[in-house]
Amino acid sequence: MTAELARYDAMCRAIDEAYQIDEVKDIRDKALALEVYARQAKNIEAERRACEIRLRAERKAGELRRQEEKSRGGRPAKNPPDQAGKVSTNAERRAELGISKDQDERWQKLAAVPKEEFEAALAEPGVPTANSIIAKIAEKRSKPMDSAALWLWGRMKDFERNGILADDPDRVWAEMADHMRADMRRLVPRVCEWLNQLEASNAEQGNIGGREAARNSVRRV
């Protein structure tokens, strides 16, 4: 793994593990600086990675902000009559965090995007933006994507994202408890058969090398 990829993975893990908004915002600000530097250097791949980190951090910050508001029982009223001169709680909190109202609202909208759909948007070609993801998801909600398709896609990406495909199967198997191995013996053949059927269906549609690939894939298990 290159130093750049290692840094990318470390920042993604830090975002996942963070429970304080200021921690996440610090990662977001660093990612933004890397993004600007990569853009100036015309390094498109580095710019895209930094952009993804920034968007993940903004989404996590939005999640934490939503949790804050939920714990307070919802958004506060706008300047109640007896507090006309007092700044609202939300405005005070934004000032503490050093973010604008637009950023706060945009990040919370990102947090409302389902994880699988957010990951799908990041995987699309080009450099993503928060506004484009929010707009695209709003458009798609008129015709929601099948939940099973989203779930399966997310699990396949997890294999890649969590490094499972590069891990040693024997090592992973040795770490399992007996009841886990029993479930694996029962489920792995069924999952392999189902995935071969999926690959065969894809091949028949001309996506993975035609019908010959379909026949070969079914014979493998």
The predicted-structure confidence for 155-213, as pLDDT tens digits, reads as follows 998 998 888 999 999 999 999 999 999 999 999 999 999 999 998 888 766 554 444 44
- Contact at 8 Å (CB) between 31 and 61? no
Same domain, 67 and 119: yes
Instruction: Compute the CA torsion angle 200, 125, 64, 135 (nearest 10 deg).
Output: -100
Report, as ranges of residue numbers, the positions in the chain whose pLDDT lies below 50. 76-87, 208-221
- Nearest alpha-carbon partner for 127 in 49, 56, 62, 57: 49
Residue 73 pLDDT: 62
Q: Using only C-alpha atoms, what is the Rg of the chain?
A: 22
**What range does the domain containing 212 cover?**
147-219
On whether residue 80 sits in a domain, the answer given is no
Q: What is the overall mean pLDDT for the chain?
A: 83
Residue 210 pLDDT: 44
Length of the chain as a residue count:
221
Residue 50 pLDDT: 92
Residue 1 pLDDT: 52
The secondary structure of residue 91, as a DSSP letter, is H
Residue 142 pLDDT: 62
On whether residue 126 sits in a domain, the answer given is yes
Question: Angle at CA 59, nearest 5°, toward 161 and 106?
Answer: 150
Provide the number of structural domains found in the chain: 2
Same domain, 196 and 158: yes
Same domain, 44 and 26: yes
Instruction: Compute the CA torsion angle 117, 123, 127, 130 (nearest 10 deg).
Output: 10
- Assign residue 98 a region (left: φ > 0; alpha: ψ between -120 and 50; beta: otherwise): left
User: What is the percentage of the chain residues whose pLDDT exceeds 90?
Assistant: 47
- Enter the pTM of the model: 0.58
Same domain, 162 and 126: no
